Structure 1
Amino acid sequence: MWWYPHDEDHDNIQGGVAVIADDSGSVLVDAGNSPAVARRIRAEIEAAGLPAPRRLIYTHHHWDHVWGACAWPDVEVIGHRAGARILEAEARRPWGHRYLREEAAADPRLGPSFRARARAMASWDRFAVVPPHTKFDDALTLPGGIEVRHVGGRHAEDSTVVAVPDSGVLLLGDCFYPPPYHLRQPGDTYDGELIRSLLDEGRFGRFDWYVDSHHQPRTGQEVRELLATLGG
């Protein structure tokens, strides 16, 4: 289990990317926010001597988790059916710097996201949004015992967690985060009810590490402490 961490500069909106190494072919969890990030991770995978990825799981459809997928043309992309519908529509949009400026001018609340997209994309050559090839509704078990489970939540309707029992890791994406900035309302914060459910060993099992996309990995105790700050 390898973890390529998030960018500490929040304006860049780049989450962490996981690699679950397996001799039959590694599994990526999320694709990075651009082909450039995906190519950097590919180089680091090769330098570490890890098996080449064969599958890529989206934790949800947001751009910073999926825009790197076009740099992985030979992998099977897996995602929740609700996110697939959204990404199929996203793939038809005329992405480019001019389009980003026009959209941000029309809705200023999109500004932080769209400016970060522009920074991430030095070139649009051969860029494409890649919808999932394999879609699921509730849960999916992959070879090697990797468990993919839909949890939903307010951040994204398709939010998915990925359990790697052999490594004691639960990959969370952004599932318990508040809604994206352009949809956020005053008082929106982390989803305590969802965090509590993730800690339910009867539902998800017990894990040593709980890894969300824009924070350092947390132990179970640290997640419980986070929940306590929310009054849970």
Structure 2
Amino acid sequence: MGALRHLAGRVWIHPHDPDPARVQGCVAVIADDAGSVLVDAGNSPAVAQRVREAVVTAGLPLPRRLIYTHHHWDHVWGACAWPDVEIIGHRAGARILRAEAGRPWSEAYVRELAAGNERMIPSCTARIAAMSGLWDGFTVVAPHVEFDDVLTLPGGVEVRHVGGGHAEDSTVVVVPDSGVVLLGDCFYPPPLHLRQPDDGLDLALIHRLLADFPPSRFSWYADSHDEPKPSALLESILRAP
């Protein structure tokens, strides 16, 4: 998990952790001579540091911008390790993260959260493990730049709000010149502590994504907690019984 893996064009992936108990999704790096773009920050400053080392080892420009695909902890808690990077996120997620930044984050506080909601125990256990020895100086960082619908960055990277049941601020990042769409967790069911018995993958959103970003133009669709999918594999989810 230390090295970047080239996906396509100028998109590189720092792979997700295949152990779901660790709750660590992939972090994408979009190379740009004017300063690369990170997509998500990882679940801790330790992951962010590994990403930084991997970027240097790969010989890519250091990041200038960081995009949050949504506000969930495992996508944003590494951001404080990038103090000089401009952070971009959807307005709804920014509101939530400003409130989260004011909480007294510590191992003791996370244990209090778990004690108040048994369904949060897996997430809280993962947070404590990810942050081992890293609480001093830790802070949740809200976006510096907020957007509502679509934002196009210099270099042609498109940031688009798609919403969905997993998080109201779910955002996808489109790299047209590389044929890649970075999906975050957008089509996943809600987090466990909010999930209802009938909740599943958001198939309607997958249909919409394939219509908006057709396989004729995009070869790779990368969600956070699985291997990147070629178009045929994403389409196969819709055909599954």
Whether the TM-score (by the shorter chain) exceeds 0.5 is yes
Q: Which amino acid aligns with 1:204?
A: F
Residue 109 of structure 1 is matched in structure 2 by: 119
Matched, 1:170 2:181: yes
Q: Residue 222 of structure 2 aligns to a residue in which SS?
A: strand
Matched, 1:204 2:213: yes
Q: Which amino acid aligns with 1:96?
A: S
Q: Which amino acid aligns with 1:110?
A: M
What is the aligned-residue RMSD (CA, Å)? 0.8
Residue 226 of structure 1 is matched in structure 2 by: 237
Percent of paired sites with the same residue: 68
Q: Which amino acid aligns with 1:180?
A: P
Residues 55-79 of structure 1: per-residue CA shift (max 9 Å, x gap):
0000000000000000000000000
Q: Tell me by how many angstroms 1:187 deviates.
A: 2.3
Structure 2: give runs of 5+ residues left out of the alignment.
1-10
Q: Select which of 196, 204, 225 maps to 1:214.
A: 225
Within 5 Å, which residues of 2 pair with 1:62-77?
62-77=72-87
Q: Tell me by how many angstroms 1:102 deviates.
A: 1.2
Residue 192 of structure 2 is matched in structure 1 by: 181
Within 5 Å, which residues of 2 pair with 1:2-41?
2-41=12-51
Aligned-partner Cα distance in 1 for 2:21–2:85: 29
Residue 43 of structure 1 is matched in structure 2 by: 53
Q: Tell me by how many angstroms 1:15 deviates.
A: 0.3
Within 5 Å, which residues of 2 pair with 1:89-168?
89-122=99-132, 123-168=134-179
Residue 5 of structure 2 is matched in structure 1 by: none
TM-score, length-normalised on structure 1? 0.97
Aligned-partner Cα distance in 1 for 2:52–2:159: 23
